A and B are shown apart, each in its own frame.
Chain A
Amino acid sequence: MIELINVSKTYANGMDVLLNINLHIGKEEFVFIVGPSGAGKTTLMRLLYREEAPSSGKVIVDRVNVAELDTEQIPYLRRNIGVVFQDYKLLPKRTVFENVAFALRVTGAPRSTIRRKAMQSLELVGMLRRANAFPDELSGGEKQRSCIARAIVNNPPILLADEPTGNLDPTTSWDILQLLEKINKRNTTVLVATHNKNVVDDMKKRVVALESGRIIRDQQLGSYNV
């Protein structure tokens, strides 16, 4: 599903963020990307949905080298990748339902489809009750659930979560990870970048550890530390 071959990323100021990364992630895998801040977790994720292009190497997502994608093709790549953020990035002047529907609107989906899929998505994350609430009225956990509902509303084969529990308490974090696992079981490849040791250790999933832009460990049923 995802393959990184000799990927390096150097910023314009000369800082190396990723160095010669080789990584293969199969279909429907659940993978944690761990490491301290500045290790390159976020950059790695951004390469996958072409928020950034690598300085060298190939980034293959669903058999396409996204590093070489034309600007016009990027939107279609992104419809196949859901992204979840630490700060949720919900539109404040819109309700939960509108936020989720928004992701379908921009793909030009017909109105009836939008309503049905948005409702399904909200039901899956357990936010149907709060569909008409505005983001201000939600708890952190509810905001993250809404963000996840938006990310999966297009049924993307890949879901990326960048520090999804960064602003949440331990119990809520655990709930969110359970939700991500549930989505993973529905045939979605899930990548979670985090430095939340507890959830990584509890979930017993594949762990890829980054440090200073290099992969230092890749372990099945892994834990946060060696």
Chain B
Amino acid sequence: MFSNLEFFLIEALRSFRRGALMSVVSVVTITVALVIFGIFLLSVINLGNIVGMVSSKMDIAAYVDKDLSLETAGALQLEFSKIPGVEKVDFISRAEAWRDFKKELGSQLDLAAVIGENPLPHTFNVKVRTPDLLAQVAKKISEDKSVTEVRYSGKLISQIKSLVDAVRIGGAALVILISFATLLIVVNTIRLTVLARETDIYIMKLVGATNAFVKWPFIIEGVLIGVLGGLSSFLILKIAYDAVSFRLALALPFLPMVRDHFLLAVVYIVMIVGGTALGMLGAYISVSRVLKAEF
């Protein structure tokens, strides 16, 4: 088996070099497909990241009666925190709110002199675990009779979320489509290199080579093509992504892109492994088809 492996490797390299143009075309095909594939993965990851960030800043503001006693408020805070999906409930008394409000306006205006007494209600700030639960939790809170008003930006969140879902589903469909198209192109490209070696295959079969023996050099060649395609797509994507995310971080600091995340490593590994798999599968399918049809 060891001497066979050596033979397979030598044959694969020989074929790769002999069909240099075809090999380059196959490598480029895989590279292009994987770059498109990677762009989608990175987009989905970043959109997910943005949604996570935005929704973590989203909470429900519940306003209650001015006259509510602090004890009742404490009870209410406990009650709200027991609603399923609620992560945290902060109570801001009307006195606190008034103080903050005045501080914000600063010395520009002596508000107390204009308005007189504090007009603000007590407020509960309710954080929920996931944006999906916003509406449900808000409804539950508004059912309490001491609550006068409930506010949250549910619409925006659900819009962003459905956008991300659409990108995810569309992206997944596109990724499958691109993988399939790439596979077809790779199969046909490698098929040409297989057909160029028809005589070799015929002789191999004639002197008693098994099909597996004939296939191995081609599969190794396919792996070689795939690894090269995977590596170059990884390099292209990494360099481009790092440049874009760096510039975007400067231009739009409030919208940071994912950096140094383990998901990025996953995407890059998927590129290289995916390229290898594409090359190998492409070679396997094409050599099997030629063997079946011709010999």
Contact = CB atoms under 8 A, between A and B. Distances in A.
A binds B: yes
Interface of A: 49, 51, 71-72, 75-79, 83, 89, 91, 93, 102-103, 105-111, 150, 154
B3 A110 contact: yes
Nearest to B213: A106
A103 B3 contact: no
Nearest to B291: A71
Contacts, number: 52
B202 interface: yes
B207 A154 contact: yes
B202 A106 contact: no
B22 to A, nearest CB: 16
B210 interface: yes
Contacts of B209: 75, 106-107
Interface residues of B, number: 18
Given A78-B207, A107-B209, A111-B3, 13 more contacts: A72-B211, A75-B208, A75-B210, A75-B211, A76-B208, A78-B205, A79-B208, A89-B206, A91-B203, A102-B207, A103-B208, A107-B208, A108-B4
Interface string B203-228: 11111111101000000000000000
B7 interface: yes
Q: Is the interface of B mostly helix, strand, loop or mixed?
A: helix
Contact of A78 (B7, B206, B211): B206
Contacts of B202: 89
Interface in B1-59: 1, 3-4, 7, 18
Contacts of B18: 93
A78 B203 CA distance: 11
Interface of B: 1, 3-4, 7, 18, 199-200, 202-211, 213
B203 A89 contact: yes
A224 B260 CA distance: 84
B208 A154 contact: yes
B145 to A, nearest CB: 82
B121 to A, nearest CB: 84
A154 B3 CA distance: 18
Contacts of B199: 89, 91
A30 B136 CA distance: 94
A110 B202 CA distance: 22
